[in-house]
Amino acid sequence: MPEGPEVETVRRTLEPHLTGRGIRSVRVLLPRIIRRPDPEDFRAGLAGGRVHGVLRRGKYLVLDLGERGRLVVHLMMSGQLVWAARPEAAAEHTRVVLGLDDGSELRMVDARTLGGLWLLGPEEAGPRGLERLGADPIAEGVDAALWRRRFAGRRAPIKALLLDQAVVAGVGNIYADEALFAARIHPATEAGRLGADPIERLARAVEDVMREAVAHRGTTLRSYADGEGQPGGHGPHLMVYGRTGQSCRLCGESIVKIKVAGRGTHLCSRCQPSPWQELPGAGAESRAPGAKRP
DNA sequence: GAGGGCCTGAAG
DNA sequence: CTTCAGGCCCTC
C-alpha cells in the first residue's frame, strides 16, 4: 500500500504522539511478522524503551530508541501504524500493539501480513533493502546527472528502475506511473535510450509528484490510513493511476493499462508515445521490446 | 531481467 | 470461480 509520501505522512502524524513516550508494554499477536530478533527477545528488548524520534527512510519507518537502538517498520502492501489516545477494542488484523506511558497505544495493523518489524541494536545493520536505499526525492531531491550515468547501457524498462529502491527511495507503483506521465515518457522505454533531456524531466517529475502527494497527505486507494487513521487526499489528483478507460486529463485520449516490469502500468498513449513506434523506417513489429535487432 | 512466492481480501 | 492489489525477495 504505502509509498514514500504515505509513509512520510504516517511519520508526521505519529511524531507528536510518540516522541518522548516510554514503551510500557508490547503485545505480539502474529509472531511471524517480527523479522528480528525472535519475538520474545523483540518484546523484552522493546518494553521499557523510549521513543526519541520518528524517522523515515524510503518506505521504512524508524523509531529512534536512543541507546537501545531503533525499531524499523515496513508496511509493505497493506500495513498501517495507528496511534490511539486510549486502548481500543482490538481492530481487525491487529498484529502488534505497543502500550505507551501516557495510556495511549500504537497498533501495527496488516491484513495481508506481508509487513515486518525489526528491533536493531545501536550499531546493528538493518534489512538489506534499508541499507541500500538510493536518494530520497522527498527529503533530498534527485540528481539527474547521477541518473544519466546509472541508466547508461541499461535495457530494463525505465519503470523498473524507478521501482528499484536502490535507484530512488520511496517510489512505488502509483508514483512511478504518475511521474512517467508528467515527464511524457512511455514506461516501457529502455532506460539506456533516454536522452539527457527526458532524464532531467523525469527527475523533476519524480520530485514534483512525490512532494505534491505529501502535501495532500498521500493517496488512499483501499486500506491506507495515516498515523491517526485518516485517509489521504491525493486520489482525485492522480492523472493516470487507476484511471483505466477514463480520458486523459490533458489530451482526452483513453488511459490504458498494460504490464511493465511485472506490474500493472497506466499511461496515456498519446502523451507518452511508444519509442519504438516512432522510429522512422522501422515497423512496430520489428522494434517491439524483445524483438531481435535487425 | 522475467517470473513466481509470500498472504488475505475485494472485485470481476 | 479467477484475477488483482500502494512491495520485496529469491530463483531461473
Q: What pLDDT is stored for residue A280 in this prediction?
A: 47
Residue A40: band (very low, low, confident or very high) from pLDDT cuts 50, 70, 90: very high
pLDDT in tens, A250-287: 999 999 999 999 999 999 999 999 987 654 444 444 44
Distance CA A137, CA A206 (A): 7
Distance of CA A81 to the CA centre of its chain: 15
Residues A122 and A158 in one domain: no
Q: What pLDDT is stored for residue A278 in this prediction?
A: 52
A114: amino acid identity, one letter = L
- What CATH number does residue A19 fall under? 3.20.190.10
Q: What pLDDT is stored for residue A276 in this prediction?
A: 75
Residue A245: band (very low, low, confident or very high) from pLDDT cuts 50, 70, 90: very high
Percent of chain A with pLDDT over 70: 94
A26 is a domain residue? yes
Residues A185 and A115 in one domain: no
Task: Please name the helix (run of DSSP H) or strand (run of DSSP E) that holds residue A23, with its range, or none.
Answer: strand A23-28
Mean pLDDT of all residues in A134-148: 97
A292 is a domain residue? no
Asked whether residue A232, judged by its CB, lies under 7 Å from any atom of the DNA or RNA strand B, the reply is no
Distance CA A228, CA A152 (A): 43
Residue A32: band (very low, low, confident or very high) from pLDDT cuts 50, 70, 90: very high
Q: Which residues 2-61 on A are within 7 A of strand B at the CB atom?
A: 32
Round to a whole number and report the distance in Å from the CA of A281 to the C1' of C8: 41
For residue A153, give the nucleotide whose C1' atom is nearest its CA: B1
Residues A204 and A252 in one domain: yes
Distance CA A266, CA A260 (A): 9
Residue A42 main-chain phi, psi, to 5 deg: -60, -50
pLDDT in tens, A118-139: 999 999 999 999 999 999 999 9
Residues A126 and A155 in one domain: no
Residues A162 and A242 in one domain: yes
A180 is a domain residue? yes
Residues A115 and A152 in one domain: no
Measured over all CA atoms, what is the biggest interatomic distance in chain A, rounded to whole angstroms?
Answer: 71
Q: What pLDDT is stored for residue A91 in this prediction?
A: 87
Q: What pLDDT is stored for residue A213 in this prediction?
A: 98
Query: Cβ(A170)–Cβ(A137) under 8 Å?
Result: yes
Q: What pLDDT is stored for residue A288 in this prediction?
A: 43
Q: Which of A131, A162, A178 is the last residue of a domain?
A: A131
Distance of CA A207 to the CA centre of its chain: 14
Residue A294: band (very low, low, confident or very high) from pLDDT cuts 50, 70, 90: very low
- The per-residue pLDDT of chain A, averaged, comes to 93
Asked whether residue A155, judged by its CB, lies under 7 Å from any atom of the DNA or RNA strand B, the reply is yes
Domain range holding A111? 4-131
Q: Is A236 a catalytic residue?
A: no
Asked whether residue A230, judged by its CB, lies under 7 Å from any atom of the DNA or RNA strand C, the reply is no
Q: What pLDDT is stored for residue A88 in this prediction?
A: 82
Residue A290: band (very low, low, confident or very high) from pLDDT cuts 50, 70, 90: very low
Q: Which residue has the cell 508514483?
A: A175
**Residue lying closest to nucleotide B1, CA to C1':** A156
DSSP letters spanning A50-116: B--EEEEETTEEEEE-GGG-EEEEE-TTTEEEEEESS--S--TTEEEEEEETTS-EEEEEESS---E
Residue A198 has pLDDT above 90, yes or no: yes
For residue A133, give the nucleotide whose C1' atom is nearest its CA: C8
Q: Which of A72, A103, A131 is the last residue of a domain?
A: A131
Residue A227 has pLDDT above 70, yes or no: yes
Residues A112 and A155 in one domain: no
Q: What pLDDT is stored for residue A292 in this prediction?
A: 33
Marked catalytic residue, from A59, A68, A159, A243: A59
A143: amino acid identity, one letter = D
pLDDT in tens, A72-96: 999 999 999 999 999 988 789 999 9
For residue A76, give the nucleotide whose C1' atom is nearest its CA: C7
- What CATH number does residue A205 fall under? 1.10.8.50
Q: Is A289 a catalytic residue?
A: no
User: What ranges in chain A are assigned the alpha helix state H?
Assistant: 4-18, 39-46, 128-131, 144-151, 158-163, 173-182, 196-215, 275-278, 284-287
Mean pLDDT of all residues in A94-106: 98
Q: What pLDDT is stored for residue A1 in this prediction?
A: 66
A84 forms beta bridges with A105
Asked whether residue A258, judged by its CB, lies under 7 Å from any atom of the DNA or RNA strand B, the reply is no
Residues A199 and A109 in one domain: no
A194 is a domain residue? yes
Per the structure, the count of domains in chain A is 2
Q: Is A292 a catalytic residue?
A: no
